[in-house]
Amino acid sequence: MAIAVAIFMGIVIGGLLTYFMLSNSRNSSVVAEYEQKIQQLQLAHQEEIQRAVKKSLNTSRATIKGRVAEQFAPLLPEFEYLPSDAKFLGDPVDYVIFDGYTDWRDGNLPSDAIEVILMDIKSGQARLSQGQLAIAEAIKHGRVRFETLRINVEDDTDMANDDRRPDLSIQQSDDHSNNYFDYDFDKTMLK
């Protein structure tokens, strides 16, 4: 009987040793597999970061180039107006152009030859923003006017100590029937 117990104990101990040895090798292969996946994910993450940085830099460069082009547009041969007639705004449109104003000021044109143009400069594949499209639509439908803000300030030198405030009023032209804009005319289409 002692031999049978010894054989049984040997089988149990051998089974346990085999189980732990196989379990250990199986665990080490699973660990190695996961470590390899982790390395692949870290490498993919680094590559994605490099792509994002490169894309960001390219977008930033394009934006800077566009802004420089906006500033120098009146000096380019494609710009059809006198640079002295163009006033830079930047936002929501780049320029307000008072075409003919310089010539009128110098006495070379009548005042009715002056044309006001809102212009935006685009480079590459850039498109008008929603705000710019809304402004173009407002102009197309004649929702444009000229206003004068007249500030009436009294000559009283003691006004700083007074509770009176300047009278700020907007004076509008009484004649709204004249339409000074030709919305169907676009000088860029003359080329």
The full set of domain ranges for the chain reads 1-79, 80-190
| Distance from C-alpha of 91 to C-alpha of 72, rounded to nearest angstrom | 16
- Give the count of alpha carbons within 13 A of 39, CB side only: 6
| Distance from C-alpha of 156 to C-alpha of 90, rounded to nearest angstrom | 39
| Distance from C-alpha of 52 to C-alpha of 101, rounded to nearest angstrom | 47
Q: What is the pLDDT of residue 160?
A: 54
Per residue of the chain (191 residues), what is the pLDDT tens digit?
888 888 888 888 888 777 777 776 777 777 788 889 999 999 999 999 999 999 999 888 888 887 887 888 898 888 999 999 999 998 899 999 999 999 999 999 998 999 999 999 887 788 899 999 999 999 999 999 888 888 888 765 555 555 555 555 555 555 444 444 444 444 444 43
Q: What is the pLDDT of residue 13?
A: 87
Q: What is the pLDDT of residue 124?
A: 77
pTM value > 0.75: no
